Structure 1
């Protein structure tokens, strides 16, 4: 078993980075890191969604690349937002498949749980990321129509 230690960011946005071997047990470690960091930052309400997101992103790396190592980064973008990313050396972009596909629906979960998500390509590989916002900060999807006689 390889010991992995999350490194706090010394400059820039608050965050943690960990390098994990591309092995199934790394998904459990990444989930635990996300949960621990979000609890430390006082936004444990995002932990469940954050764990699912990091699981899906890291599992995509395990299933669709030949990388030996992946990097997980958790950054505090603002008081109400957290960015979770998984970086690997593959330049193959993740594909959002149809919801009727037998496999590959993990990105639908990432899209559903996150405020925004995407993939940034680099010469060395890619970073697939998702941003979570606290419930209070996320815009409401439901806007009730005004009733007769109500003022706006």
Structure 2
């Protein structure tokens, strides 16, 4: 199993990332990565929302991406701001929809928009990175 990697960021805090198989079980691994990063940074107030968001991002990548893997990244971009992102090899951009009341899915991007301070998609030659930023009470 691949090990998470860390890299020092301009904020002086490491960023965490891990390449995961494009399968539903990877959402649990992504949640553990987020919990570990936020605990290391003392940003426990962001844990619940960030874990939910990374679950949605990984789930979307599992359902809609191509190839066998996705990359999950967690970065502390300012002392109180965390960016969680999922990179995949599909160039199809996320498309928020308005599900009917009896639909079982289709609310993930709406949920992300409600919980995150900001979110978006960065297009890449090989695919895309969908990210969300959350603001907490960092040092």
Q: Where in structure 1 are there 5+ consecutive unaligned residues?
A: 138-152
Higher RCO (CA < 8 A, seq sep 6+)? 2
**Conservation of the 8 A alpha-carbon contact between 2:4 and 2:17:** yes
* 2:126 pairs with 1:124: yes
Alignment match, 2:61: 61
Alignment match, 2:80: 80
Alignment match, 1:19: 19
RMSD between aligned residues? 1.6
Alignment match, 2:5: 7
- SS of the aligned residue for 2:96 comes to coil
Alignment match, 1:113: 115
Q: What number of residue pairs does the alignment pair up?
A: 134
| Greater Rg by CA | 1
Deviations 1:81-121 (A, max 9, x none): 00000000100001110143722110111111100000011
Q: Where in structure 2 are there 5+ consecutive unaligned residues?
A: none
Moved over 3 A (4+): 10-13
Alignment match, 1:148: none
Question: Bigger CA drift: 100-109 or 26-35?
Answer: 100-109
